[in-house]
Structure formats: C-alpha cells, structure tokens
Chain A
C-alpha cells in the first residue's frame, strides 16, 4: 500500500467517549502533520512531528492528544470532545519538516461528536 492512509474514515462518538485516529505513511518521510478542516473555515494545522518529536502545537485543546511512535505512524487520541470538534481530520507527511517539500495528504477521518 502506498501514500498516506487514515483509519477510520468515519467516526461518530459521544462527548464522554475515548477514541483514536490513526495515520500511516508509506513514503519514507520524516515529518507528519495533523490538520483540522471545519465547515466554512480555513484548514488549520494542529500538530507537527519531525522524526517522532513534536515540533509544533498550535494551541490545540488538551482533549486532543497526539502520539508518534515512529516516523511512519501518527495517532490522534480523542477524549471528552465537544460537538464543535466535529470536522474532517487530515493527516499529511513530507520529506522534511520545514514545509519546503510537498505535503502528501491522507483521505481524512470524518468525525462527528454527538
């Protein structure tokens, strides 16, 4: 399998649930990203990882917790979310972390918080 994959593609959860989003890249890249895409809003960068170390955290609420166990996998752990957190969550990867390289995106996870 090639490119960037994300699972699940769709997720519905209650405000008290705990769930995790998974991203896997098969491109041999060193950097991975989480983005949030809400309806009618610009795409927002949430987290950046370079060689498994977090290098960027754009004031994201603590109910979102990223984890990068290795350079190919990235998780986003979710707990006690709010309905306004419903959005499309996109994962991306690139060769380098300084955004000079093209980013490759996964298909996204459509999250609905009830």
Chain B
C-alpha cells in the first residue's frame, strides 16, 4: 500500500533563506508526483508536476526533484518570502491506479 510522508510537519525560517521540503513514498511504482500549495481557508494550487521519467521540474523560485528509486522528492524554495507561507502538499499517483495519494503536508512559515 502506497504511503506518502512529509517531513517536517512544520517549518519556520527567516525571510531570504533557501529551504527544502521533503516527501517520501513507500512504493516506487508511480506514474507521477505533484507538489501543491494550500493557503489558509483556500483550496489547493498545483505548483509542479513531475512525471516518473523526469528528474526535476522548475518554476520560478521553485525546484522539485524526484528520485523514484529511493522513493523521495524534494521541493526547493529559493530566496524565501513571507508570501511563501502556506502548507505544501506532496502527492503521488501509483502506477495502474486512478487515484492520487497525498501526504499530510508541511506548514511553512516565513518570518519577515
């Protein structure tokens, strides 16, 4: 059974710092992996989608990597800003399965 774990559950860093959020999954047989952002009281915003054949995806200050064999993904945020404060969710789609399995998220707080 596929399980997705995100560590840490919460993180506070000063503005301007680079940071890394971690995601691990138990079964490497995945179709793709997504990173989402959720602001308080709002829905999810998709940040990056990495197909299983890809190693990384970049969008602006965000870079997501995927190491399928080790069951790990990281979301790197460069030059963090207070507006980056949100909960970041990692989700995988297992091979041969029409569903997405989410982690519990990492609550990120960027200190001004």
Contact = CB atoms under 8 A, between A and B. Distances in A.
Given A99-B32, A100-B51, A42 B101 contact: yes
Interface in A37-60: 40-45, 48, 55-56, 58
Contacts, number: 61
Contacts of B101: 42
Contact of B104 (A40, A105, A107): A40
Interface residues of A, number: 28
Interface in A12-56: 40-45, 48, 55-56
Interface in B34-55: 34, 36, 41-46, 49, 51
Contact of B93 (A40, A56, A99, A108): A99
Contact of A99 (B4, B31, B102, B104): B31
A43 to B, nearest CB: 4
A42 B98 contact: no
B98 A98 contact: yes
Nearest to A9: B41
Nearest to B93: A99
A108 B46 contact: no
Given A43-B89, A43-B91, A103 B43 contact: no
Interface of A: 4, 6, 40-45, 48, 55-56, 58, 90-92, 97-108, 110
26 contacts: A6-B43, A40-B104, A42-B4, A42-B102, A42-B103, A42-B104, A42-B105, A43-B89, A43-B91, A43-B102, A48-B98, A55-B98, A56-B98, A91-B43, A92-B43, A92-B44, A99-B32, A99-B98, A99-B99, A100-B32, A100-B51, A101-B49, A103-B100, A105-B45, A105-B46, A107-B42
